[in-house]
Structure formats: C-alpha cells, structure tokens
Structure 1
Amino acid sequence: MLSPALDTFLAEARPTPFLVLDPGVVAERYAELRVAFPQAELLYAVKACPEPEVLRRLVALGCGFDVAGAEEIALCLAAGADPGTLCHGNPIRGPGAAARAAERGVHRFVTDSAEDLALLPAGAQVLVRVVVVDEGSATPFLGKFGALPAEAVRLARGAAGVAFHAGSQQVRPEAFAAGARTALRVAGAAGIRRPVLDAGGGLPVRYRTDVPPPEAYAAALDEAVGAAVAAGDVDGARLVLEPGRALVAEAGVLRAGVLRVSRRPGIDHRRWVYLDVGRYQGLAETEGEAIDYPVRVPGRDGPPGPVVLAGPTCDGDDVLYRRRPYALPADLAAGDVVDLLAAGAYTSSYAAVGFNGLPPLTVHVL
C-alpha cells in the first residue's frame, strides 16, 4: 500500500527515471519503532537516504543520527540536529577525521581497531564494534568491520560500551539476540558493568516476502540483555539502534521507463525488459539479487509472463533479476512505466554520477 500522497504524485506523468519520497511515511515508521523500542535511543543511518527533508523531519521527531563522515555530519547539522545526538559509526577514518568531527561537537565514535582507537580525541565516548554472525542478512559484512571478542575486550577497557551489526535486511531476530550476547560478554570482560549496547541497523522491511515485525527484534534483544544480566556479565545495558532501511524504504517509489521489451531466441525463453534505470542509477542493491523490489506496471493489466529485468547501460553486470522469478503483463511495451516499490533506502545515495553518460537519479520529495 502506497501513501495517498505518493499515489497522487505518481498519477501525473513525469520524465523517468525518478525517485519520489514521502517523509510522512518516514515519520510513521519512526513512531512504530518508538513503540517497539520504547527505551532505546534511535539514530537514523544517514547513508540510507540523506535527503535534507527526511533529516529535518527526523530532527523534529527527536531522532539522532548515525553518520559516516564529514559530509553526513554537515547535512545533519544543516538540518538542525544537535551534534550531541550524532554518532560517528564508520570506524574507517583517515588521520584527523575524528578530531575534525569533535570540533563540530560530535563526541561518540565506534571503533574496531587499535589503529583507529589511537586517533580518537581525548574524552570521546567510545563504542567497540564486535564481529558477530550475520547469517540471514541480505548483505553480510564478511568481516570488513568489527574485532574478534578477545581483541574487542582489549580495545573496550575504559570504553563506554560495545556495538555490533547483524547484517543489512536481517530476517532472523535470533541473530540480534546472539550478537547482543556476544557484545555484552565482551563488555563484561572489559569491566563495563552498564554498557551502551549499540545493536546497529539491519531491521528488515517487507519487499516481496513477509519479515518479522520490529517487536520480534525488541523481544530478542530484551531476552539477550536479561540473559547477560542473569549470567553476571553486566548489570544492565542502554540500548541504541541505528535504523536506516526500516525508516525510509517504504517511503519511496522508483519509477522507471521501459526502453525495450525483447525476445532472445536461443538465449532465454523469457522476455527481456530493459529499463531506463539500473544498477548504476540507484539499484545497486540488486547486486546478487539481494533485494527484490516489488514491481507494478500502472496502466497494464494483461496476463503476466516471466521476464528478466535489466538496466540500460552497456555493462554486462547491469542485470537486475535473472534468477529471481518476476512476471510482468504480456502486453508490456516500450514507453510504459514500471514502479519499483519500497525503494526509499539505498537508491538515491547509491546512484552513480555520469556512468555511461547517464545523470544522477532525480529525486522528488513531497
């Protein structure tokens, strides 16, 4: 179901491709997470969709922000955010980056290495990120971030708390529970009795299949904290979450134009549908077919048939869905439009600038 505002906007013909966002939906999702996690501090992951109006709406609601660098810090401050509500969550920082962030009022930093820890400013609130199992996520981190528990204990001595990330679009609440237990054991071994527990992002949204509700993840985290207290690891924990996708995905629709519909005799029995937007214009999360956006075709209601969906560039990797089954109306033709739903997260922020001569993705904000 789209919001009435999105439906009204999409009823008018406009040049494609474009992303349209309804910040009202972002506010609704934020309210839902506030109910599910009443005691948690929520920090919006700016990388998911850094549109200024989205940031302003979240500032007005009292949300904090997970930022990855100087540019995102500047966007949040321009939107009216208190720098004290920002957490510099990307532990890959060059020399001087943390000091410059501190000069702008940012005092919370996530780290995962001795090399980065040595660069953090005196007096910083430090959270040490721990490697956890992220099986069940659409895009696991494959060890790029986080320290193994023994190393994390050494890094966390004197820190404010611990952090973990169970992977993006994580459909297993038990992955959050397991990550929390691992992180809290690290905190206890480091002598932190009441740590900040930053459970990262990864809360999933429904694309073409159902996912557990936020309450399932809240219950899993509550159970994990309770188990850690019962085991004597810690005396309690202050929960922090960094939702990105969960706040903005359903606020956006990406409208594409159909460039061509082709039969490929001897190559594929399905029709190939080439869109004017692809992996390099905002659909990067179709890599590995990790995210399967729901698709609708306004104005066409013929019987559906199997298709391969591909982007417009001359890059052979610019095929959106070859393995996942998609079916579109048999009368689909060049010049039609196709809507990719729940596309508010990781689209405009992923779009390339100028690949194959194509411009950045146009964004309309209601």
Structure 2
Amino acid sequence: MTMTAQTNAALRADAPLNFDEAADYIANNTFDKPTLVVSRDRIAAQYDALHNGLGRAHIHYAVKANPAPEIIRMLVEKGCGFDAASRQEVELVLSQGAHPSTISFGNTIKRPVDIAFAHSTGVTLFAADCVAELDKIAEHAPGARVYIRVIVENSLADWPLTRKFGCADSMLPSLLDHAASVGLVPYGLSFHVGSQTRKAEFWNPVLDQVAPLWHAAIEAGHDLQLLNIGGGFPAFYGETVEAPRAYSAAVIAAVEARFGTVPHIMAEPGRGMVAEAGHIAAEVLLVSQKSEEAQRRWVYLDIGRFSGLAETEGEAIRYQFVTEHDGGLVGPCVLAGPSCDSADILYEKKPIDLPLDLRSGDRIMIKNCGAYTSTYSSVGFNGFPPLDVIVL
C-alpha cells in the first residue's frame, strides 16, 4: 500500500528543497509502532533560511524542540549555537562537538549542581529572572555573564508564555544591580514573544514593551551587550505563516528599529527550525460512533497525548493529517489516543474532518511533527511504546 505523499505547503519558495523526504520515506515504508521521521536536509535548509534572514543575529537552537544527536551534530557543523535547559542538554551538545562558548544555559530554573557542572565545562552564559537564581549562579558559576528575562505582557502568539518565566518590568533595574553586586556580569536582556507567533508584525507590541527597558538600563550605566529575542518562529499547521527568511528579516528589522545598534543579538528558534522537517507515521486503531444519532465519529490512533502529541493540550497546536482515502467525502471526528486515560483526547472542541472511508488498520501520517513530539513522549504510559525516531 502506498500512501499519497501530499505536497507540504510549508516547502515554501525560499526553501531550496523541492521534495518532502520524510513524507516520501513514510509512504514507501511500513512501521510497527508510531514513528517520527525527520529530514536533516530540511532542517539544514530551514537553518539557512533563518540564518540569512536574521543577518548578524546568532542562532541558538532550542535543544528541547528535538534533541536527536544527528540533528545536533549537523547544526554544530553549520556553526549554530544552542539554548540548553538542563545539564543533560549541555552534555548532549558538548558530546556532539559544540564548543562551550556557543551554549547558553537558558532555563531560569536551574539546580545548583547543574550550574556548577555547566560552569566547569566552560559555559559562561546563564539566564535568570529573580534574586534567588542570581545568587545561585554567583555561588556556583562566579563571574558568569547573565541575562535577565522579562515577562511579556502583550503576546499575540497562538501559545503565549507569559506566566512561568520572567520578571516584571519594574524589577529589572534592581536585578541588574544585584547581579553586579554579587560579582556577575549583567550582560543582557531576554524575552519570548510566545510559541507559534505566526506573523512577524505580531512581534511589534512585545518589542515596544522591551525596548524602553533596554534603553533605560543602558542609561543607568549597565553595559548591556546581549539582546536575546528568544523563539516564537512559527511552523505551518494549516494556517498561513510567512516564509522563514522573509519572516526573520522582518523581525530583525523591527528589533533594530527599536533597539538601535545592539552588540550581540541572539535568537532561539526551536519549532521554526525543525517542525516542518518531520512527520509521524501512525495507525488508526478504531473508528466508532457513541450512538446511532451521533454526528461525530471517534477516531482512535496508536499515538496520543502521552506518546508524543502533548501539544494538543487545549487544542493549541492543530496538526494536519494525510490518509490513503484523501480526496473522498469527509466528516467531523473526535480524535483520541490509545491509552486508558480519559484525558487522552487530541481534538474534541473543534473536530477534525477525516475521510468517511477511514477504517481500523489504515495508515495515517501526521504532518510537521519534528518539534516537541519525541521529547514529550512518555517512557511507556499504559504500556504503549514511546515514539520511535528515524533521522534521515
């Protein structure tokens, strides 16, 4: 059986590949469990597009998006930097040849022993958003460079990240002062516009908030060198997103218009780097109706929220699906995973339209899953296997 490898709408004009390698591989192979297939060539093309658009800004890939060693090694060879969130991620990128100077320990919540470990390997750049974290860094990485993350108040992203990380604007001056008082180097600021910020213009309200903070810190005497603009670079999930080179160029133009000449600009794409490079090969386990009058079928897949599709939480990320029955009549479906957990439902509030001919045993491809799937996969909840990964 051959699954139709539909043209990926995300293979846009400024990406040099004219072939969806991962989709072709899935179409021509069989799998005995859910499998993520990722194309390194597509990631390399995406990196080049973002790099060209960002200009002098340096990319630090958000390792959490997809930590496959083959991907890390390829990005090391291309001169990419890395945003690490744990000791394990620091160890991973070092094992694949990254130099410590290219690593930012970007999690604002770190164990003291992990700070000490990273510092012992030569990592000198750390994130913080409160006095307690600065004190930990000062004790376990004396003399380190730190950048302070600020809370974003006006995100226009599909998935705002405004609660867990960052400090209030009013706290920034005292945190910079405190960093200097405990022997650290107050090196810069960071923020995150929110995951899946689909249009470059959506950055503007956030930049308007942060730019005055940057200028005020400079005027207060802090020799800030680094502006970390974080992630937010989007992927295609059915709604139009701008091409990566044009998008990133527009973002940098907006940054420079508000911040002026900044010595070092760092960007941390994760989703925008790897999502479109990977698809998941899955299987339909069951198609059922809850009553004779039900207008929606229930479709159960062999992969769910606990085996890689955690980003369907709140139906925030809406994946696209390819089946062997595409082109026929479709109808609304509630989509769910295989586990015996009532929370393992992917889409219910806004049903997914799938072919009426869909049956148990049919193959289904879930598109643009290269980010935040393998890393969210459990070790085997309910006995179902974790997501397998093939890197081409």
Regarding TM over 0.5, the answer is yes
Map 1:158-237; keep pairs closer than 5 Å.
158=180, 159-190=186-217, 191-192=221-222, 194-214=224-244, 215-229=246-260, 236-237=262-263
Q: C-alpha displacement at 1:57, in angstroms?
A: 0.8
C-alpha contact (below 8 Å) 1:23/1:57 kept by paired residues? yes
Map 1:320-339; keep pairs closer than 5 Å.
320-339=346-365
Encode CA deviations 1:315-336: one digit per residue, 9 max, x unaligned. 1111111122421111111000
Q: C-alpha displacement at 1:46, in angstroms?
A: 0.3
1:314 equivalenced with 2:340 (yes/no) = yes
C-alpha contact (below 8 Å) 1:168/1:204 kept by paired residues? yes
1:91 equivalenced with 2:111 (yes/no) = no
Q: C-alpha displacement at 1:300, in angstroms?
A: 5.1
Note closer, same or farther for the CA distance 1:224–1:92 as it changes in structure 2 (3 Å cut). same
C-alpha contact (below 8 Å) 1:204/1:245 kept by paired residues? yes
Scaled by the length of structure 1, the TM-score of the pair is 0.93
Q: Secondary structure of 1:118's partner? A: helix
1:32 equivalenced with 2:49 (yes/no) = yes
Scaled by the length of structure 2, the TM-score of the pair is 0.87
Indicate the residue corresponding to 1:124 in structure 2.
144
Indicate the residue corresponding to 2:316 in structure 1.
290
> Which stretch has the larger CA shift, 280-289 or 260-269?
260-269
Distance in 2 of aligned mates of 1:243 and 1:336 = 34
Note closer, same or farther for the CA distance 1:206–1:241 as it changes in structure 2 (3 Å cut). same
Distance in 2 of aligned mates of 1:347 and 1:125 = 32
C-alpha contact (below 8 Å) 2:152/2:162 kept by paired residues? no
Distance in 1 of aligned mates of 2:254 and 2:322 = 40
Runs (5+) with no aligned partner, structure 1: 230-234
Note closer, same or farther for the CA distance 1:188–1:142 as it changes in structure 2 (3 Å cut). closer
Indicate the residue corresponding to 1:232 in structure 2.
none
Aligned AA (1:56)? R
Map 1:249-328; keep pairs closer than 5 Å.
249-265=275-291, 268-298=294-324, 301-328=327-354
Note closer, same or farther for the CA distance 1:175–1:133 as it changes in structure 2 (3 Å cut). farther
C-alpha contact (below 8 Å) 1:272/1:308 kept by paired residues? yes
Map 1:30-109; keep pairs closer than 5 Å.
30-109=47-126
C-alpha contact (below 8 Å) 1:180/1:199 kept by paired residues? no
Q: C-alpha displacement at 1:136, in angstroms?
A: 2.4
Indicate the residue corresponding to 2:14 in structure 1.
none
Distance in 2 of aligned mates of 1:117 and 1:4 = 45
Runs (5+) with no aligned partner, structure 2: 1-6, 9-18, 181-185
Distance in 1 of aligned mates of 2:159 and 2:118 = 28
The runs of at least 4 aligned residues of structure 1 exceeding 4 Å deviation read none
The number of residues matched between the two structures is 361
C-alpha contact (below 8 Å) 1:300/1:331 kept by paired residues? no
Distance in 2 of aligned mates of 1:251 and 1:4 = 8
> Which stretch has the larger CA shift, 136-145 or 161-170?
136-145
C-alpha contact (below 8 Å) 2:152/2:192 kept by paired residues? yes
Percent identity over paired residues: 40
Aligned AA (1:282)? G
